[in-house]
Structure 1
Amino acid sequence: MEFVQPIRDLKQIQAIKNILLAQSARNHLLFVLGINCGLRISDILQLQIGDVVNERGKPRPFYELRESKTKKGRRFPFSKNVQKAINLYFQEAGKNENLESYLFKSRQGYRSITRQRAYQIINDAAHAIGIQEKIGTHTLRKTFGYHAYKSGVDITLLQSIFNHSSPSVTLRYIGITQDDMDDVIINLNL
């Protein structure tokens, strides 16, 4: 597996959202969910419709899962942006969806898209806006962590969310570089 980067620029994130929404509400939801929840792509692709909406088709406030890699039970709340993307998805898909169907259905309709297809969707959108860095499905999770950290979330909380062994592993994972750390010292003029 290649090392991928988070998307650091908020304008690039918005541009990718716009491209994906023009393609389909499904692709848009895949991206929005990934960058707002910090879930692994394997957990995202296993989501069923009933995991994100109730019987009346209204978005749930959170999702509870047993993570595929760690087997730990976790609760992931859905932000307003995720709930909005869920609503857009169901406006496009229609309300007659079976709650046990996969959320990110493949063309066959009875199974989820593959990791490779998710990679292709994300990578194509990133390249369409001119991102040259390595981008992949893990970029979604790293983007979540990077922007959470930059907005002031404590690194130990992100370490816990990501199930990492140390804060230094989390910093490296989310792409915080020595330059970022130097900027803190340079810009702090007491």
Structure 2
Amino acid sequence: MTPRTVEPIRKLATIEKMKQLLKEQSYRDYFLFLLGLNTGLRIGDLLPLKVHHVRSKKYIILVEEKTGKAKRFPLNREIREHIATYTIGMTDDDYLFPSSMTGEPIQRDRAYKLLKKAANEAGAEFVGTHTLRKTFGYHFYKKYKDASMLQKIFNHSSQSVTLRYIGISQEEIDDAIDDFSL
């Protein structure tokens, strides 16, 4: 039996429960969850961010190591408000997600453990660090039904890759078509 892949969190109530649990645990952990859900960034791109990457910005700009190309990730109004609150008292060179022990960014395995703990308590299954990105994609697609735009955001090679990535199954596509008529 092959292991099940990480999936998006489909239920909004489960997302809200995780927000509540993470906020009680640590504002840093809560903010990591929010920023991941609202930008679609990979965990490896989120963890090394510093305050100057996000404070008073409308975009997070990342430079791809392989190509050297810059890619913009928009920050919505609500997440910009969270950034302003979260970064009060922080310097521009502070990491957004510092370890309390080292001051360096928390590691991927630490991010996994804190997300997994909250997911278990909230009743979410198949959660990992990639769940944040997949959840962003899933809910973006559900709201806008624009696989093409999501493909561009994620830099995927095709729409079918994007839909498979966010867990839009053939059954869901069939159900949508069943209600569609001209």
TM, length-normalised to structure 2: 0.90
SS in 2 for 1:103: coil
- Structure 1: stretches of 5+ with no match in the other structure: 54-58
Distance 2:116 2:85 in 1: 22
Aligned CA distance change for structure 1 residues 2 and 182 (closer, same or farther; 3 Å): closer
Give aligned-pair identity as a percent. Answer: 47
Aligned CA distance change for structure 1 residues 121 and 171 (closer, same or farther; 3 Å): same
Instruction: Name the structure 2 match of 1:155.
Output: 147
Instruction: Name the structure 1 match of 2:162.
Output: 170
Instruction: Name the structure 2 match of 1:137.
Output: 129
Instruction: Name the structure 2 match of 1:121.
Output: 114
Q: Which runs of 4+ in 1 moved over 4 A?
A: 68-71
The one-letter amino acid of 1:63's match is I
SS in 1 for 2:49: coil
SS in 1 for 2:100: coil
SS in 2 for 1:4: coil
Instruction: Name the structure 2 match of 1:85.
Output: 82
SS in 1 for 2:144: coil
The one-letter amino acid of 2:19's match is K
The one-letter amino acid of 1:130's match is G
Aligned CA distance change for structure 1 residues 104 and 28 (closer, same or farther; 3 Å): same
TM, length-normalised to structure 1: 0.87
After superposition, the C-alpha distances for 1:122-157 in whole angstroms (9 at most, x for unaligned) are 1111110112x2100100000011111111141111
Cα offset for 1:51? 1.1
Aligned CA distance change for structure 1 residues 46 and 71 (closer, same or farther; 3 Å): farther
2:17 to 3, 6, 15: 15
Distance 1:188 1:153 in 2: 13
Distance 2:15 2:7 in 1: 13
Asked if the contact 1:25/1:85 (under 8 Å) is kept, the reply is no
Distance 2:46 2:96 in 1: 9
Instruction: Name the structure 2 match of 1:56.
Output: none
Asked if the contact 1:28/1:85 (under 8 Å) is kept, the reply is no
Distance 1:174 1:88 in 2: 30
The one-letter amino acid of 2:52's match is G
Aligned length: 180
Instruction: Name the structure 2 match of 1:32.
Output: 34
Cα offset for 1:85? 2.5
- Structure 2: stretches of 5+ with no match in the other structure: none
Asked if the contact 1:6/1:140 (under 8 Å) is kept, the reply is yes
The one-letter amino acid of 2:45's match is D
1:106 to 99, 120, 130: 99
Cα offset for 1:2? 6.2
| Cα RMSD after superposing both structures | 1.9
Instruction: Name the structure 1 match of 2:57.
Output: 60
Distance 1:180 1:70 in 2: 36
Matched, 1:185 2:182: no
